[in-house]
Amino acid sequence: MHPWRNPTNLEAFRAEQLTKVPSWYVPLMHLGGTTSIGIIALLGIYWLENTQLWEYLAIPFLFIFANLFEWWAHKFLLHKEQKAPTWLPKIIQRTINKLFHALFHNHTPSHHRMFVYGDMAINKEKNGWNGLYFVLIPLEGIIGVVLTALPLAFGLGFLISTNVGLLTGITQSIYVVSYELLHLCYHLPVNHPIGKLKIIKKLKRHHELHHAPELMQTHNFNVTIPAADELKKTNLSESEILAFIKKYQDEDNAYYNHIIDPDA
């Protein structure tokens, strides 16, 4: 059994991490702060004028781009600590490196150790909703999303049309909100009614496999729809999933049998 999955280690780590949640932290404000991006972005609809059908075609292309970017950012920013190019001015290098450091350390050594395959739920009864601190996108992530989205929206607005620029900002913002809400659904407390929805169960299975320590660097990077995982061949096949689940079941049985009978 991987040390991160050992129940004793897991509970000790969770207890330690939860002590780091700031006293001023309000879970609903955190959720409202990240999801409000999409609500604010929808105001861009009021600036659309005489929109042509071909301009709306930007939406599916932007969805594909966002899905690929989600895969890339998850694999190369959240699971590998990057460094800023050395040719940048020192002050910019330090700023970017701090951002990269926060993105990686909030995700791989923290989020992935808090929630592992087979134990993904926030313990609301024990810790309230403070577990959201380790699930929702942190401030650094929001900054990264905005820095990525704005240049693209302004660029397409300048090169193609104002409507396309607005649709770019709206689509990207709504995509971020969908990412946030879906990710939250995968970590909801056990027996939460939303978690019982068929589509959520299917997507959660995909994401939960990514939370296995042995798979997190190589498979299932999409949190929303696993389109890029299919394209990049990082989506586990059904036979691989079944073999993996059996391996974990065998490990769990051996662990708990040892707890019951240490001399076995």
The pLDDT tens digits of the residues spanning 132-154 come to 999 998 766 776 777 777 888 89
The stretch 57-69 carries a mean pLDDT of 93
The pLDDT tens digits of the residues spanning 80-117 come to 999 999 999 999 999 999 989 988 999 999 999 999 99
Q: Which residues contact 117 (CB under 8 A, 6 or more apart)?
A: 5, 208, 209, 211, 212, 213, 215, 248
Residue percentage of the chain with pLDDT more than 70: 93
The pLDDT tens digits of the residues spanning 208-247 come to 999 999 899 999 999 999 999 999 999 998 888 888 888 8
Around Cβ 127, how many Cβ atoms within 10 Å? Answer: 15
pTM recorded for the entire structure:
0.88
Tell me which DSSP letter residue 191 carries: T
Dihedral, 6, 8, 10, 15 alpha carbons, nearest 10: 180
Cα distances (angstroms) measured from residue 185 to each of 89, 146, 227? 41, 23, 19
- Structural tokens at position 179: 């990412």
Single-letter amino acid code for the residue at 65: F
Instruction: Let me know if residue 43 belongs to a domain.
Output: yes
Cα distances (angstroms) measured from residue 8 to each of 1, 3, 216? 12, 9, 21
Q: Which of 7-21, 207-221, 250-264 has the lowest mean pLDDT?
A: 250-264
Instruction: Let me know if residue 262 belongs to a domain.
Output: no
Q: Which residues contact 130 (CB under 8 A, 6 or more apart)?
A: 18, 21, 25, 27
Instruction: Let me know if residue 264 belongs to a domain.
Output: no
Instruction: Let me know if residue 99 belongs to a domain.
Output: yes
Please list, residue by residue across 206-234, b when 16 or more beta carbons sit within 10 angstroms of its beta carbon and e when fewer do: bbbbbbbeebbeebbbbbbebbbbeeeeb
Dihedral, 121, 124, 127, 131 alpha carbons, nearest 10: 50
Q: Which residues contact 205 (CB under 8 A, 6 or more apart)?
A: none
State the pLDDT confidence band at 260, using cuts at 50, 70 and 90: very low
Compute φ and ψ for 252, nearest 5 degrees.
-65, -45
Cα–Cα distance between 164 and 159 in angstroms, integer?
9
Domains of the chain: total: 1
- Structural tokens at position 26: 């309000």
Cα–Cα distance between 229 and 235 in angstroms, integer?
5
Instruction: Let me know if residue 245 belongs to a domain.
Output: no
Reading phi first (left if > 0) and then psi (alpha if -120 to 50, else beta), residue 212 is in beta
Quote the domain boundaries for residue 57.
7-237
**Winning range, highest mean pLDDT, from 25-34, 152-161, 221-230:** 221-230
Instruction: Let me know if residue 255 belongs to a domain.
Output: no
